[in-house]
Amino acid sequence: MKQNRAVEIWVGLFVGLGMAALVASAFYVGNLSSYNSDSGYKLEARFDEIGGLKARSPVTISGVQVGRVISIHLDNQEYRAVVRMEIDPEKLPLQQVGEEGEQLFDEHGQLLLCDKGGEPPACSTILYEDASASILTAGMLGEQYVGLEPGGGALAFLYPGDEVRMTQSSIALEQVIGQFLFNQVGDDAQ
C-alpha cells in the first residue's frame, strides 16, 4: 500500500510540474509577461487593412520593442481599423518641451526627459508629427506587429494621445501570391 501511495505522489508531482512548465511556456511564447499595461502613454493609428494584427502585438522602433497594441476597433465613419498602442516610457521616454514645443536640453547638451507623471503640453514623445506606423510581419509567416518610424526634422512632436497619421497597412500573403501569379500569366500571354 505504501509503495502505491509513493508512486501516486510522484506521478502527481510530475503532472503538476508538467502543467506549470506548460503554463510558463505559454506565457513565454505568447509574450504575455513582458509588459505591464497602464504604465505607459497612448498613441493611435488608423489602417485600411490590419491583417492578423491583434491586441498585445508588439510595437517596435528599429526592431526594438517599445510597447504593445492595447486595442483594435473599427471606425464606423471611415471604416478603417483604429489601433491603440501603449508605449513604455522606460523604452521610449517623454521629453520636456518649451512653450513653443521645442526640445529642452541641460547644460551638458543632454535631452531633458519628463518624469513618469509628465503631461502635455510640458512633455511630448520623441516622435515627430511625420512619424509613420506600418504593420509588419516577423518572417514569412510570423506574427504581425506595428513598426514605428520616428519621422524627423522640423515638424512638431507628437504628444501622448495623438494619432500617427502616416500609416502603411498590412500586405496579405494572398495578395502577393495573387499578384505574382497574375504577372506570370501576363508574361506567358505575351
Band the pLDDT of 8: cuts 50, 70, 90.
confident
Q: Do the beta carbons of residue 105 and residue 131 sit within 8 Å?
A: no
Grid coordinates in use for 6? 509513493
How many CA atoms lie within 13 Å of 105's alpha carbon, on the beta-carbon side? 4
| Rounded alpha-carbon distances, angstroms, from residue 9 to 22, 109, 182 | 20, 64, 63
pLDDT at residue 33, as a whole number: 45
pLDDT at residue 101, as a whole number: 76
pLDDT at residue 1, as a whole number: 63
pLDDT at residue 145, as a whole number: 95
Residue 188 has pLDDT above 60, yes or no: no
The mean predicted confidence, pLDDT, of the chain is: 83
pTM: 0.71
Residue 104 has pLDDT above 80, yes or no: yes
Delimit the domains of the chain by residue range. Answer: 1-33, 41-178
Q: Do the beta carbons of residue 45 and residue 146 sit within 8 Å?
A: yes
Grid coordinates in use for 80? 478603417
Band the pLDDT of 185: cuts 50, 70, 90.
low
83 versus 108: which is more confidently predicted?
83
In order, the DSSP letters of 42-67 are EEEEEES--TT--TT-EEEETTEEEE
| Sequence-distant (≥ 6) Cβ neighbours of residue 87 within 8 angstroms | 40, 41, 42, 43, 59, 66, 67, 125
Tens digit of pLDDT for each residue in 22-40?
A: 888 776 665 554 555 567 8
pLDDT at residue 172, as a whole number: 67
